[in-house]
């Protein structure tokens, strides 16, 4: 048995109101990337070994490192690159320059979140480097950063979802 409209409204207020959805949709379309609170990038050189890069990613709990020469971005190395190009094929002491994705798509600090999300969706990326006005890497936007931002727009609706809503809807909950 579903939740009656009045029960939903009591639980979540006016989250479903057209003006709220429009307001939050506008935030996604107009908020700049700098509003995401992304992490500073881990930058490595192209001659860094895959082993060192992987250790750096694991230690920092991140899914990618940026490959730079000086302060210029030349590539990105992601978990996906390691799984597809290294495991069973290359030695971990190979340089990341052999397997990185060269010249990755990037966004600027003042570009919109929707712009970054569009690039990530079209390209199938989970990470996209952020460059400052001089073209230097200053961060990485991850899909997790975007999801965190979206959750911040609808905190009550997202954070108050029952732990197993499918079970409750089918009447299989324990109560």
Could you tell me if residue 87 is inside a domain?
A: yes
Domain that holds residue 140: 33-151
Q: Into how many domains does the chain fold?
A: 1
CATH code at 40? Answer: 3.10.580.10
Could you tell me if residue 83 is inside a domain?
A: yes
Measure the CA–CA gap between 75 and 22, rounded to whole angstroms. Answer: 37
Could you tell me if residue 85 is inside a domain?
A: yes
- 148 band by pLDDT with thresholds 50, 70 and 90: confident
Could you tell me if residue 24 is inside a domain?
A: no
Instruction: Tell which wins on pLDDT, 152 or 70.
Output: 70
Q: What is the mean pLDDT of residues 65-70?
A: 97
Could you tell me if residue 86 is inside a domain?
A: yes
What is this structure's pTM?
A: 0.76
pLDDT of residue 10: 47
At 88 the three-state DSSP class reads coil
Could you tell me if residue 167 is inside a domain?
A: no
Decide if 110 contacts 32 (C-beta within 8 A): yes
Could you tell me if residue 51 is inside a domain?
A: yes
Measure the CA–CA gap between 49 and 98, rounded to whole angstroms. Answer: 10
Measure the CA–CA gap between 160 and 29, rounded to whole angstroms. Answer: 25
pLDDT digits 0-9 by tens, 153-173: 777 766 777 777 666 555 555
| CA torsion, ordered 140, 38, 51, 125, to nearest 10 deg | -40
Could you tell me if residue 19 is inside a domain?
A: no
Cross-strand partners of 137: 131
Measure the CA–CA gap between 7 and 16, rounded to whole angstroms. Answer: 13
């Amino acid at each position: 048995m579903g939740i009656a409209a009045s029960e939903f409204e009591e639980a979540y207020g006016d989250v479903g109101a057209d003006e709220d959805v429009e307001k939050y949709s506008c935030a996604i379309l107009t908020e700049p990337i700098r509003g995401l609170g992304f992490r500073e990038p881990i930058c490595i050189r192209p001659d860094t070994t895959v082993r060192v890069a992987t250790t750096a990613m694991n230690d920092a709990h991140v899914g990618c490192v940026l490959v730079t020469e000086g302060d210029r971005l030349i590539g990105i190395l992601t978990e996906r690159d390691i799984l597809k190009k290294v495991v069973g094929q290359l030695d971990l002491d190979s340089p990341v320059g052999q397997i990185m994705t060269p010249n990755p798509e990037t966004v600027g600090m003042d570009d919109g979140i929707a712009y970054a999300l569009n690039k990530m969706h079209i390209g199938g990326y989970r990470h996209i480097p952020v460059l400052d006005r001089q073209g230097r890497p200053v961060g990485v936007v991850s899909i997790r950063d975007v999801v965190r931002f979206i959750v911040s727009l609808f905190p009550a609706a997202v954070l108050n979802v029952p732990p197993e809503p499918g079970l409750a809807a089918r009447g299989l909950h324990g109560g």
